[in-house]
Structure formats: structure tokens, C-alpha cells
Structure 1
Amino acid sequence: MPKNSFIKDLASVFTSRVASLVLGLGTSIVTARYLGPEGNGVSAALLVYPSLFMAIGALGVQQSTTYFVGQKKYDLKEVYGAVLATWIFTSLVGIISSFLLIKYFTKGDYPNILIFWALAAIPFSLYTTYSSGIFLGQQNVKEFNRINWVPAIINLSFTFLLTGVFHFGVAGYMAATFLGVFFLSFLVVYKIRQSIPVRPRFNGKIIKGLLSLGVIYAGTTLIASLNYKVDVVLLEKWSNAHELGIYSKGAILVEMLWQIPAILSTIIFSRSAGAKDPAEFSLKVCRLLRFALILILLIAIAFYCLSDFVIGLMYGPAFAESSKVLKILMPGVLLMIIYKVLYMDIAGKGRPWMSMEAMIPAVIANVLLNYWWIPKYGASGSAMASTVSYSIAALVFLVLYSVHTRIPIKKIFTYTREDREFAMGIVNKLRGKIAPQPKATAPVPKEPSEESVNI
């Protein structure tokens, strides 16, 4: 199968991410208006453990599948069959372990119906996560992103219906979240079964290979997820649902900036796994990082200045304190862009464990600072702890990446003539697609080739 160009993949992922971002923002507004700070705090507390398990229960199967498919280590049918066999087992473990964590490690006495909706999404989310490794390994990013926005639109539609029209409260929002991943899993099955039999295959050699590399990916993902989610866990324990709701809305807004590197990370990981010249590819990843940082910094400045107005407009006066949370989190979120882009290159090269050296001290700092600051400052204290933690993780990983790839830190951030040519190539390519084609029969000068802008 021919490789998709970087521009085509970027356009596909960008469209999908923007759609998901806008729809997710709509869901966030609906829940703020109809659930209030306390209801948002309850839903955040219920979903934090299932989302953490997704980092463990996924076992890095998506990443190891991408790596194996990209390297063509095994027959595709055998790989997918082994993925399904693994999914059956981990789904059961995920439901049981998440139930025990919610039941016995949270402060609130939550109704069983809420716990049910929180757990019901686990097997369907895991299936979609596992199966996406097939698409990424084949560098078929465009195909997967055609349907990747489906959960967001279903979630928004049913959240409004169940919370705004029928007033089912937190239970309505939890049910809407489940329905989103439920329908997406069936779309993924439909796409995959067109070329691969959807049948579990208990191939011990492949399962062992997937898990032996996948456990490393899972460990790094778990540590990273802890760094993002530990503040929610600790706020639920050491504060109250109101403060948790205030924090969650501020964090959701500022973390939307991470959608920009997420657009790049899907492509970087899939292409890094099959790169013929890893050193040259890393230089191109650094180029993407430089462009991403400029774009995100400009957005962040506007976001910071308008945060009071935006939060008041979207969520109402009850969430006014979320603006302070957003502003405190902003520096750490910006620095984490460095980690999020560079990590996918390292992970694609089959060395995900490097991130642990950055994330473990960051998580420890996060926990200790939350312990000191939550009792004094509530949601703002947790935001301060997260910003310090994110900064530690990003800066330490930057040094590790520089050492591993032998690219000096100064070179990672220095803009070059090739950067300008790359940018102009993209602009010219987009102009060529937008501008009408000339009707003259005379030869028309060629646009820059796809190779000139192809990562």
C-alpha cells in the first residue's frame, strides 16, 4: 500500500481533531450549565479510575501493534487475532479492578447506576484503542480519522438530551459518554472486517511479543496518566466536589492546547515506527516541534488574556474560579508540548521507557505539592502542583531526548532555512488545492512536489 503523504495525513488528523475539539467543548458547556460544579466534580471522580486503567489495561497494545505492523514482524491476520484475544482478558480485568477502586478508594458513596456507566465503557474503549494500532501500523491514518470524531458528536447529542432535556443529571452524562465509545467500536469493527477477519487467535508467541513490548509502553503511559490525573484523585480525597468541578473545567479548557501536538503525534508515531533513517526523521520531528510551539504560544497568549470572558460566557458565573486554574496551569501545559511531540518519536523507535526517567520524579513532585497546597489553596493549589510537575517532566525529557538522538538542545529550537522552505512548501501546496485550475493549454509551472513537504 502506498504511503500517504504527510500533508494528506495532517489534513485528515486536523479535521478529525478539530471536529472532536469543537464537539468536546460543546459537551463541556452543556455539563457546566446543567450539572454545575458539584455534578462535574462527581463525574470527574467516577471517570478518573477507569481512565487510569485504560493506561494500564491497554498494556501498550496499540503501540506495540503499531510497531509490529510497521516493522512487518508477523502476518497481519495473526497480529489482529492476538490483539482480540488480549482484549477479552484485559476487559474483564479492567471492569473488576476499576469497580474495586471506585467502591473502596473514593470518598463519595456513589450510586451503583453511576458506577455501572463508568465501567460499561471500558471494553469498548479498549477495543478501539487496540484496533487503532492496525491503522497506525499500516500508516492508514486518514481511514481511522474519518470515524474518530464519532464519539464526540454522539456524546454531545446524548449529553444535551439526557441532561438538558430529560434532566437525568450525572447519570445522563455518564450514559452519553458510554454511547459514544459504544458506537465507535462497531464502526471500527466494520472498517477492519473489510480486510481482516475479526476473530481471536490465541497465538502465544505473538501475544507474548505484543505484551513484552506493550507492558513497557503501558508503564510509561501509566506514569504519564498519573501525572495528569493524580490531581483529580487527590482533590477528591482532600477537598470537595465543588473544588474538583472548578478544577476540572479550567483544566479541560487549557489542556485543549494539547490537541495541536496530538495532531502531530499520531503521524509521528506511525511513521517513526517504520522510518528507514531514524536520525534524519528525528530532525524532522524537531522541525515540527518548532512550528507547533510558535502556533500554540500565540493561541495560549490570546487564551490567557480572554480566559475570564470565555469561561464566564461558556460556563457561567458559578465557574468563575476556573479562570484562575486555567492561568496557573498555562505555563506547565505549554512546556508539556515539548514532551508530547518528542516522546512519540522515541516511542515509535521502540524505546518508550526513556520517558519514565522524566515522569517518575514529576509524579512524585505532583503528589507532594498537592499534599501541601490542596488544603491551603484548593483547586488553585492543585493547579500550581501540576504546573511544577509538567515543567519538570518536559525539561528532563528534553535533555534525555537530546542525549539519545545526539541533537543539541540549541539545534532542537533553532529555526533554519529548511524550516522556511518547509513552511512555504505547505503554503504553496494548500494554495494549489484552493486556487482554481488554469484553463490555458500552455504548460503550467509545477507546484512543489509532495516530497518537498513530505515528512
Structure 2
Amino acid sequence: MQTSLFRRFISILGAKITTLLLGLFITPILVRLLGSSLYGDYAFILSILGITMILANAGIFDGARKYIAEDREDSNWVEHVFGFYLRVAAQLAALAAFLFILFSWFGLSDRFFNSNFSIYFYLLAALIISRQAYSVARGGLMGLGFEDQSEPLSILKKVLFGIFGLSFAYIGYDVAGILLGHILASLITSLLAFMILFRHLNTRYVFTRVPAKFPKKSLLSFNFFSIILIFMTSSLYHVDILLLRPITGSEATGYYRAALVVAEFLWFVPNAIQMFLLHSSSELWSKNKISEITNIVSKVTRYNLLLVLLFSVGLAALANDFVTVYFGPDFSPTVRPLLLLLPGTLGFALARPIFAVGQGKGELRILILATGAAAVMNLCLNLLLIPLYGISGAAVATSISYGSMVVFHVIAARKIGFDPVSDLRLSKIVFVALTSSIVIFGISSIISSSYLSLSIVPPIGFIVYIILTVKFGVLSSEEIDDFAQRLPNPIDEHFRRFVVVLQNH
């Protein structure tokens, strides 16, 4: 079971890392093609899309993964669940797309924004449908445990977006061309996902009505509370953008969006863990393996903190170098909000896997209360600080709200029945991070070249951090041994020798 879970997680993590690297390549090209002002409009459109997709998807992606993974003894349970969600998804996507078309058709987009937004909203209608199709198919594959087949499609989707989106933007279609790139990438990958999925399902039962005993109310209840939960979670990283553009303008929004993009690099591992834990923990909850859940989540939280803290320290030390090289010197105003966002981004990174486990159990009411408290705080602080301090105010407001998530969700987890911080070893991790920071910031400060700093500091900082982690017992001998067993020969032998040397000196 553990090997299977590990392989499935590696499939998700591998896809996350690959899409992150592709994003690292695509984003600076996209920014340079659009400029800060159009990039701000693009960020605003993506925030509108993000909020809309929460309502259109209605928790279907999470619901499909959760209930398909339970694989109950009912005849053709998997097909009935998938078919039910497929029909609901199609209706909701069609409704959302129709409303966007009406919004542009009656000239409301021109009235509230500008003439370019009319075509943007027509394209958003098509993008909603294509994304919904991809989300449903991917959720089905992951629920069945086929992450090794679903996640390569995420990589393909990113590649296709890069090819189509950047090409259209380059020949002069700007934001509209990038949106068209998103549409084509989602359509192609969703078609491939459905082709793979239907090899594993009896399509006769997918496209027939579910039986009378099928628990529609349970599924819809989960989805209803999931909408609220996801809406509140997503509001944490959309409200600031939606408020910034009308208050500070497109250019400042572009700078702030760039800071968010960099800060959210910290989330690629926590996102993979969160995505995996929802349906894998659902299996464990259904078998009442509570002690195993606590053991897994407490270890995951420690590993997550250890890794994200390393990335946060490195990014803080190299913020100015990275921003000026990655986005260009014109984006130097991005550095300050980025630094202000980092502490909260770290807290949100820790919270993500924790509330995925509660979601896997189906205890959504308490998760909604925890997330809702952070969301209300975020809205109030952004309304207060953006008019006074612009993008720095937005960064402070968002960072405080992000950070509150880990506090609220640890409390929620304990009420649900598991303790995600029972084996955190916080004092050791903080000591390792502070000691490593001295080395990382010290080396960064004496290197004047941005390119040289970005080349030298990360590997040295990583080596120092790993040495201190092993030396001061942040990871136990059993955990190190378990990790070494998963490495290919002869790497595992060299790794074991390296650990022994560190522990004995």
C-alpha cells in the first residue's frame, strides 16, 4: 500500500515539478511580450476565470476523486459516480459560458472595463467549457489511481499552452492570443484524458441514469460545501488582484501579479501533497485507519515545513537578483511585495495538505469556518491597506491572511480527529533554518553579479541545509533509511555513507 501511495505521489510531484519548470520558461517570455500593463489585464482576467471556475466546477474535481477512490461494493459504483459528475459538470459549464457570452453581447464588458475585454469574455466562455472537460476527466483518472496517466497530460497541457499562447501573443494577438492558447491546450488534453479514461470504464453505465439507491444527496452535499470551501480558499489569492486593478491600475497590478507568481513557486510541493492526500486519505478514512492518518500527516507536515522553509530563505536572499533577471529590470517594484508575501506564503504552504485530509473525511463545515476566518480577514485587510499603501499594502494583507491559514487549520484538524503537528520538531527546524540563513545571505551579499549569485548560492545553500538537517536529527535514522531504499543503486549506498559520516562528526 505504501509503495503504491508513494508511486502515485511521485507521479503528481513529478508533473508539478515539470510544469513548474515549464512555467519558469514560459512566464518571462509572456511578460516581455505583454509588458506590465497588459500583463496586469491578463492577471485580472485569470482571477475572474479562477473565481468563475470555482462555481462552474462546483467541487466536482474533488468530489470525483474522493468518491471514485472509495470504490464501494455497489455494482458499477465508479461508472455511476463519474457519469453523475459528468452530467452536472456539463450543465454548469454551459450555464457559466452562456452568462459570459451575454455579458459581452450586451456591451457590459465595454462599459465596466474597455473594448478589448469584450473578446476576452467570449474567449473565457470557451475556456470555461474546455477546462471543465479536462477537470472532470483528470478527476476520474486520479480517483481510479491512474496518476501515472493523468499527470503527464498536465505536462502536455503546459507545453501546448506555451506553444500556442506564446505564438499567438508574438504575432500580435496579445491577451486574446494567450487565452486562445489556453483553450486549445485544454481541449486537446481533455480529449486525450477521456480516451484514456473510457478504456477503464464501462461507458454503458456512464451514460445511463444512476440507480434509485445512488446517494445523490451525499455527493451534492459534499459538493455544496466544497464550493464554499474552495471559493473561500481561492479568494485568498484572487481578492487582492481584483481590488488592485480598479484602485491602482493595470501596471501596478502587473508588478504585484509577478510577485505572486514568484511567491507561489513555494507551493509546487505542497500542492502535489494536497492533491494526493484528498483521495488517498479518503480511502484511509473509509477504513477508519485514524492512527495511520495522523502518522502520515504529521510526517508530511514536518517534511513540508523543512522543504518550503529552505525555498523561502533562498528566495528571500535572492529576491532582487531573481526578479531583475527573470522579469527584467523594469519589474524592480516587484521585489518589495515579494518579500512581504513570503512569510504568509510559507504558512499557506503548510496548511494546504492539512485541510486536504479533513476534506478527505468529508468534515467540511469546520474547514469552512477555518478558511472563512482567513478569507474575511483577507478581504478586510486588503480593503484597508491597498488604498493606503498600494501593492505593498496588498502584500501585507495577503501575507497575514495566508499565515493565519496554518493556525486555523491545525485547530480544525485536531477537532476533526488528527494532529498534523504531533511530530513537527519545530525548534530543530528553526535552528537549521536560522543557521543556514547566515550562510545563504552572507554568500549572496558578497556576490555582485546576479547571474553568478543565482548560480552559486542555491547549491551551496542546499548542501549546508541538508548537512544541518541530518546532523541535528530533523529526520530520524528510520526516515533516512526509508528514503535511501527508494534511491537507485549505487546512489543509495553513497547516500548512506554520507549520512553516517555526518552523524559521527
Per the normalisation by structure 1, the TM-score is 0.88
Letter in 2 for 1:431: P
Which is bigger in relative contact order (C-alpha 8 A, separation at least 6)?
1
- Say whether the 8 Å CA contact 2:133–2:190 is kept in structure 1: yes
Name the SS for the 1:380 alignment partner: helix
Task: Provide the rounded CA distance (Å) in 2 between the counterparts of 1:367 and 1:94.
Answer: 25
Residue in structure 2 matching 1:184, options 189, 214, 218: 189
Task: Provide the rounded CA distance (Å) in 1 between the counterparts of 2:366 and 2:301.
Answer: 19
Task: Provide the rounded CA distance (Å) in 2 between the counterparts of 1:420 and 1:101.
Answer: 60
The 5 Å alignment of 1:13-162 reads: 13-73=12-72, 74=74, 75-98=77-100, 103=108, 107-111=112-116, 112-162=118-168
Task: Provide the rounded CA distance (Å) in 2 between the counterparts of 1:7 and 1:274.
Answer: 15
The 5 Å alignment of 1:41-440 reads: 41-73=40-72, 74=74, 75-98=77-100, 103=108, 107-111=112-116, 112-164=118-170, 166-197=171-202, 200-203=207-210, 205-275=214-284, 276=287, 277-407=289-419, 409=421, 411-413=423-425, 419-432=476-489
Name the SS for the 2:237 alignment partner: helix
Task: Provide the rounded CA distance (Å) in 2 between the counterparts of 1:319 and 1:28.
Answer: 13
1:135-155 CA-to-partner distances (Å, cap 9, x unmatched) read 232222222112221211111
Task: Provide the rounded CA distance (Å) in 2 between the counterparts of 1:94 and 1:105.
Answer: 19
1:266-321 CA-to-partner distances (Å, cap 9, x unmatched) read 22112101113033212211101101111111111111111111111111122111
Task: Provide the rounded CA distance (Å) in 1 between the counterparts of 2:102 and 2:424.
Answer: 45
1:184-204 CA-to-partner distances (Å, cap 9, x unmatched) read 111111111112255544437
Task: Provide the rounded CA distance (Å) in 2 between the counterparts of 1:417 and 1:334.
Answer: 18
- Say whether the 8 Å CA contact 2:157–2:189 is kept in structure 1: yes
Between the two proteins, the alignment pairs up a number of residues equal to 434
Task: Provide the rounded CA distance (Å) in 2 between the counterparts of 1:55 and 1:309.
Answer: 36
Letter in 1 for 2:82: Y
Name the SS for the 1:430 alignment partner: coil
- Say whether the 8 Å CA contact 1:57–1:90 is kept in structure 2: yes
Letter in 2 for 1:121: L
Name the SS for the 1:186 alignment partner: helix
Letter in 2 for 1:281: I
Residues 208 and 431 (structure 1), Cα distance of their counterparts in 2 relative to 1, 3 Å cut: same
Counterpart in the other structure of 2:446: none
Task: Provide the rounded CA distance (Å) in 1 between the counterparts of 2:127 and 2:348.
Answer: 28
| 1:380 shift after superposition | 1.4
Letter in 2 for 1:358: A
1:378-437 CA-to-partner distances (Å, cap 9, x unmatched) read 11111111011112222111122133325385544568898541232112221348579x
Unaligned runs of 5+ in 2: 429-472, 494-505
Deviates more, 1:65-74 or 1:286-295: 65-74
Task: Provide the rounded CA distance (Å) in 2 between the counterparts of 1:67 and 1:214.
Answer: 11
Task: Provide the rounded CA distance (Å) in 1 between the counterparts of 2:207 and 2:2.
Answer: 28
Task: Provide the rounded CA distance (Å) in 1 between the counterparts of 2:151 and 2:157.
Answer: 12
Unaligned runs of 5+ in 1: 437-455
Letter in 1 for 2:301: L
Task: Provide the rounded CA distance (Å) in 2 between the counterparts of 1:19 and 1:136.
Answer: 18
Letter in 2 for 1:52: I
| 1:354 shift after superposition | 2.2
- Say whether the 8 Å CA contact 1:117–1:175 is kept in structure 2: yes
Task: Provide the rounded CA distance (Å) in 2 between the counterparts of 1:216 and 1:225.
Answer: 14
Task: Provide the rounded CA distance (Å) in 1 between the counterparts of 2:476 and 2:146.
Answer: 26
1:72-107 CA-to-partner distances (Å, cap 9, x unmatched) read 235222222212211221111221345577846994
Residues 399 and 419 (structure 1), Cα distance of their counterparts in 2 relative to 1, 3 Å cut: farther
| 1:324 shift after superposition | 1.3
Letter in 2 for 1:376: L
Counterpart in the other structure of 1:448: none
1:115-145 CA-to-partner distances (Å, cap 9, x unmatched) read 2222211112112222333223222222211
Letter in 2 for 1:78: H
Task: Provide the rounded CA distance (Å) in 2 between the counterparts of 1:12 and 1:315.
Answer: 30
- Say whether the 8 Å CA contact 2:31–2:327 is kept in structure 1: yes
| 1:235 shift after superposition | 0.8
Task: Provide the rounded CA distance (Å) in 2 between the counterparts of 1:145 and 1:434.
Answer: 27
Name the SS for the 2:318 alignment partner: helix
| 1:342 shift after superposition | 0.4
- Say whether the 8 Å CA contact 1:125–1:181 is kept in structure 2: yes
Deviates more, 1:293-302 or 1:59-68: 59-68
Residues 343 and 123 (structure 1), Cα distance of their counterparts in 2 relative to 1, 3 Å cut: same
Letter in 1 for 2:338: L
| 1:355 shift after superposition | 1.9
Output the aligned Cα RMSD. Answer: 2.5
Residues 340 and 394 (structure 1), Cα distance of their counterparts in 2 relative to 1, 3 Å cut: same
Name the SS for the 1:168 alignment partner: helix
Name the SS for the 2:200 alignment partner: coil
1:24-78 CA-to-partner distances (Å, cap 9, x unmatched) read 2222111211101101111111221221121122121222222222222352222
Letter in 2 for 1:14: L
